[in-house]
């Protein structure tokens, strides 16, 4: 529910939060940071240019007792295993501490300068699933491979997805090694093995699961949104030449399992309440979802209004001091064909259990306009059109030294804009050839 923590007029006594484009007191994202003195990783919240140490704050008795044990952990899994109502007391307590000037003297000693504190993966990720709900991406990629039949007939019925690889999910800033793999060069009869020549990114959101459903217990659509604890940015790095050779008949494998980068801050479900909106209506001729994926509340406010962007800078651009080049912008409302709740319900509809800290990728979130595409595969039409960059460079796919940075913000008139921080990674050469 929207409440006093979303009041756009609310101000924190942390001065850098006042005009902060991403982390005003209305956001309060959760993450795991390493204090500058090298102490053990601990849970914190971003406020302006600072990080508030929630482990230390809980130890002082300033947070609800029911949260103390979970906040002493070095990951968010235990916190996201708590009942939703208990978790929501954290947002209210933090908001009150950070907006009440009388608390400054007690709380300020637990603030750390964000610039001095590395951020780590927020969860021990048990499982990672990547969906394919960006309909304009699915249509554009389908058209490259099947010009006459870009969108397969199951697309309007099934939230398409596949089970990904949790072990190679890494946090913003970790390097991405160019993977080796099998590819079939056009015109060749036999495949060859070596570094991918078509390394790409995919602009996605990650949904962090909260709570647990036992094996054999589907999550009904009416309560599925409660199972999303928060969101992050997600880059599903992809080797397109490997993908084209290996994906039939079972789908992505090594083309996707070498790296997935997530942003370190978890923007909570509670923070996103003002930005809930109706999903885009299905157009004429598109069938309605089956009843288990339909819910009046989800149809009214099940989508989120989030603006997304991708930027690229190359090693030469950084040496020349050139700013990162904007590759594309898109929005979730236009891109997503299924809501987060529908993803949870479909994922569990056969009885699959989801655990706290499981990660669900949305799939590439491209806009309708080709210029709003969330991957190079689409922006370059399968490598046919070169992208011109500042400094006289061009690209079709990523080269070593290239850095891809994803950003996102939730905006709505009458509310403070909140941001997601960054999700960045630099491509390094293949470690073994």
Candidates 22, 53, 130, 378; binder of Ca ion (CB under 5 A) is 130
- Of 129 and 314, the one with the shorter C-beta distance to Ca ion is 129
Residue 402 as a binder of Ca ion (CB under 5 A): the answer is no
CB of 202 to Ca ion, least distance (A): 4
Q: By C-beta, is 32 or 234 nearer to Ca ion? A: 234
- Token output for 261: 């980068």
Active site residue 346: no
Nearer to Ca ion, 127 or 202 (CB): 202
Pick from 236, 246, 270, 378 the residue near Ca ion by CB under 5 A: 236
Q: Which is nearer to Ca ion, 28 or 262 (CB)?
A: 262
Cα–Cα distance for residue pair 22/14, rounded to 1 Å: 14
Supply the minimum distance, in Å, between the C-beta of residue 240 and Ca ion.
12
Catalytic residue among 110, 137, 325, 347: 137
d(CA 309, CA 407): 5
What's the closest the beta carbon of residue 363 comes to Ca ion, in angstroms? 5
Among 202, 241, 295, 393, binds Ca ion (CB under 5 A): 202
Closer to Ca ion by CB, 135 or 221: give it: 135
Stretch that binds Ca ion, among 35-43, 101-109, 125-133, 168-176 (CB under 5 A): 125-133
Of 86-94, 186-194, 234-242, 304-312, the window that binds Ca ion (rule: CB under 5 A) is 234-242
- 238 contacts 202 by C-beta, under 8 angstroms: yes
Q: How far is the CB of 268 from Ca ion (least distance, A)?
A: 24
How many binding residues for Ca ion (CB under 5 A)? 3
Question: Which region, judged by CB under 5 A, interacts with Ca ion, from 5-13, 81-89, 198-206, 320-328?
Answer: 198-206
Stretch that binds Ca ion, among 196-204, 292-300, 391-399, 414-422 (CB under 5 A): 196-204
Which positions are catalytic?
Answer: 137
* Binding-site ranges for Ca ion (CB under 5 A): 130, 202, 236
């Amino acid at each position: 529910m929207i409440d006093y923590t979303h009041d756009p007029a609310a101000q924190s006594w942390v001065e850098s939060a006042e005009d902060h484009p991403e982390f005003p007191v209305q956001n309060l994202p959760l993450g795991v940071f390493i204090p500058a003195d090298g102490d053990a990783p601990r849970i914190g919240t971003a406020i302006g240019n600072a990080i508030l140490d929630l482990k230390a704050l809980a130890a002082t008795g300033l947070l609800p007792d029911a949260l103390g044990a979970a906040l002493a952990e070095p990951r968010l899994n235990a916190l996201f295993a708590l009942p939703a109502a208990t978790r929501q007391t954290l947002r209210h307590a933090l908001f009150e501490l950070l907006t009440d000037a009388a608390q400054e003297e007690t709380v300020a000693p637990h603030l750390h300068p964000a610039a001095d504190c590395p951020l780590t993966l927020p969860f021990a990720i048990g499982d990672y699933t990547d969906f394919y709900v960006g309909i304009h991406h699915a249509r554009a990629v389908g058209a490259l491979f099947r010009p006459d039949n870009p969108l397969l007939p199951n697309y309007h019925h099934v939230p398409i997805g596949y089970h990904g690889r949790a072990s190679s999910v890494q946090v913003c800033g970790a390097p991405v090694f160019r993977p080796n793999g099998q590819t079939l060069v056009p015109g060749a009869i036999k495949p060859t093995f070596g570094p991918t020549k078509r390394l790409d990114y995919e602009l996605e959101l990650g949904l962090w699961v909260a709570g647990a459903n036992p094996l054999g217990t589907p999550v009904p659509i009416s309560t599925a949104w409660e199972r999303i604890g928060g969101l992050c940015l997600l880059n599903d790095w992809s080797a397109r030449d490997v993908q084209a050779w290996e994906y039939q008949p079972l789908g992505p494998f090594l083309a996707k399992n070498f790296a997935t980068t997530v942003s370190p801050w978890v923007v909570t479900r509670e923070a996103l309440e003002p930005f809930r909106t109706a999903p885009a209506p299905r157009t004429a001729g598109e069938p309605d979802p089956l009843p288990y994926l339909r819910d009046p509340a989800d149809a009214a406010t099940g989508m989120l209004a989030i603006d997304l962007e991708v930027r690229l800078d190359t090693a030469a651009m950084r040496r020349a001091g050139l700013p990162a080049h904007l590759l594309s912008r898109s929005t979730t409302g236009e891109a997503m064909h299924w809501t987060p709740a529908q993803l949870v319900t479909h994922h569990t509809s056969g009885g699959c259990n989801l655990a706290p800290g499981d990660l669900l990728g949305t799939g590439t979130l491209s806009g309708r306009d080709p210029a709003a595409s969330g991957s190079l595969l689409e922006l370059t039409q399968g490598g046919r059109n070169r992208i011109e960059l500042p400094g006289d460079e061009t690209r079709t796919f990523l080269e070593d030294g290239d850095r891809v940075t994803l950003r996102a913000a939730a905006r709505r008139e009458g509310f403070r804009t909140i941001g997601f921080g960054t999700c960045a990674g630099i491509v390094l050469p293949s470690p073994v050839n």
